[in-house]
Structure 1
């Protein structure tokens, strides 16, 4: 099973500012590249690695400092509590889809290889893309793509999807790709299809909602001085992370105390996102679109209720 080389590995480790005796979380274990590098820097510390994809278990190594949690990182705080962990020194999130998911058609993520219309990170949970395309009404489909993509001329896409439901229901990724191909602007076929797949994938996995929950959960469990390191691969996720670091919440104005002083539980370590070097991009194409943001937990008291 082929996984990508870990993206921005050195920068992630530097961002985490590893304490060999500390507790860390990798919320996207995947191929285990980042996790193994973190473990190499720990002595008595622990790494709690999350992944909801059953395939990730195939990459586990027997390590006394590693605790693997087969779950969605959306519920980070609750799962850590089950292990008696109240606070951690750092959290790493490498968002998006791993290379092996893109490269293997049977999960439905790939636009190159045919497979079932699934796209669930956890194939045993939630609804599939097939169910979305078979049950969502016109407005729901429009809202889905409006929220998760920058596709123009959405009505043409929605009409084509609804007509297919009546005439020849879509069941495979190749059928979806073929339906979308004539709708793509000239010279932008690949980008258009990728956006369609992205929108559907983000919908069935609730990716923006899950990211928001992760960010709130990170504030709860990080120690003062603890680091949050998040790597995203498209503008929607990066914007959410950027705004959260700046404002301490996913949406709306920054909270202030009774004197008007802003209450921000995170301090950005990098003013701009860290991006890969030309050398890394040349050997690891996945790194090309990666944006890494690093923040540190402040001493600011914070509870989720204040952010509602």
Structure 2
């Protein structure tokens, strides 16, 4: 299995996480293991790193890459379930979440994430459970498809695309990625397409992937769960690749830093809520021009972090 992985914002992430010898860390989205390997090199033989991924292919490839490190522990699961997955693990010095789809998933046609090659419409990050993208497209009500396109991709042609999907599936069920790409091609007039936004199906594929994997709804709570797993002074770093995810992370981190729920004009705080964490680096950290030149997929990456209070 070929699993090439170029970790995004690696130096910036390490600066924010501050891994030290003997530290205890977790990578909730192990992927190809690039970030984790860099952490393992810094925490040494006395440190521990727990690598979690719901994609069994990714977990197997990363384990093969990292099993020589004595402190590495692989866990199959969804980072949303961190409390259960890391039960019994000591409080963490740091944790990393690198959200979204991996290069391996995009570049492996049979996973169904890409519109560049015709392949089965799967899109599941964990292929052992849940609806495939084909199942989702063939069964969801038109309004639900439309809403997903708006909520998860800001697709202005969402209503038209949803209508075409329902019309096409009535004739023949969706089976391959080309079916979905053709639906989008049919729905969006060529005269209004912008060369700057890339392939017309890009947003639709993103929205369907997010819906199939339920990536957004549990994210805010998951961030607060990860915060509880940190020791005081521990750091949580999150890398996002689109504005919808980044908005959730930004708002959650802001709520951790300013949890007060008193009315804005209240003279003093009476709610009793205290700061849970402080935002690091003044907010968002973005890749350098040099990195995006070498790795174009890093262009939309945003790194944010918090340090647990206490």
**Compared CA separation, residues 240 and 254, structure 1 to 2 (3 A):** farther
1:28-39 map, 5 Å: 28-39=29-40
Instruction: Pick one of 189, 199, 207 that aligns with 2:215.
Output: 207
1:6 aligns with 7
**SS in structure 2 of the partner of residue 85 of structure 1:** coil
Q: Does 1:24 align with 2:25?
A: yes
Distance 1:253 1:213 in 2: 14
1:170 aligns with 174
Asked if the contact 1:3/1:30 (under 8 Å) is kept, the reply is no
1:1-308 map, 5 Å: 1-43=2-44, 44-56=46-58, 57-60=60-63, 61-62=66-67, 63-81=69-87, 84-184=88-188, 185-188=192-195, 190-248=198-256, 254-255=260-261, 259-260=270-271, 263-299=274-310
Asked if the contact 2:24/2:90 (under 8 Å) is kept, the reply is no
**SS in structure 1 of the partner of residue 305 of structure 2:** strand
Name stretches of at least 5 consecutive residues in structure 2 with no aligned partner. Answer: 263-267
- Equivalenced residue count is 295
Which segment is superposed worse, 260-269 or 143-152?
Answer: 260-269
Question: 1:191 Cα deviation (Å)?
Answer: 4.6
Which segment is superposed worse, 281-290 or 181-190?
Answer: 181-190
Asked if the contact 1:49/1:68 (under 8 Å) is kept, the reply is yes
Asked if the contact 2:260/2:272 (under 8 Å) is kept, the reply is no
Asked if the contact 2:260/2:271 (under 8 Å) is kept, the reply is no
Distance 1:205 1:155 in 2: 22
Asked if the contact 1:20/1:42 (under 8 Å) is kept, the reply is yes
Q: 4+ runs of 1 displaced by more than 6 Å?
A: none
Question: 1:168 Cα deviation (Å)?
Answer: 2.2
Question: 1:258 Cα deviation (Å)?
Answer: 6.2
Q: Say what the alpha-carbon RMSD is for the aligned residues.
A: 2.0
Question: 1:147 Cα deviation (Å)?
Answer: 1.7
Name stretches of at least 5 consecutive residues in structure 1 with no aligned partner. Answer: 300-308
- TM-score between the two structures when normalised by the length of structure 2: 0.90
Question: 1:294 Cα deviation (Å)?
Answer: 1.3
Question: 1:262 Cα deviation (Å)?
Answer: 5.1
Asked if the contact 1:75/1:213 (under 8 Å) is kept, the reply is no
Asked if the contact 1:157/1:183 (under 8 Å) is kept, the reply is yes
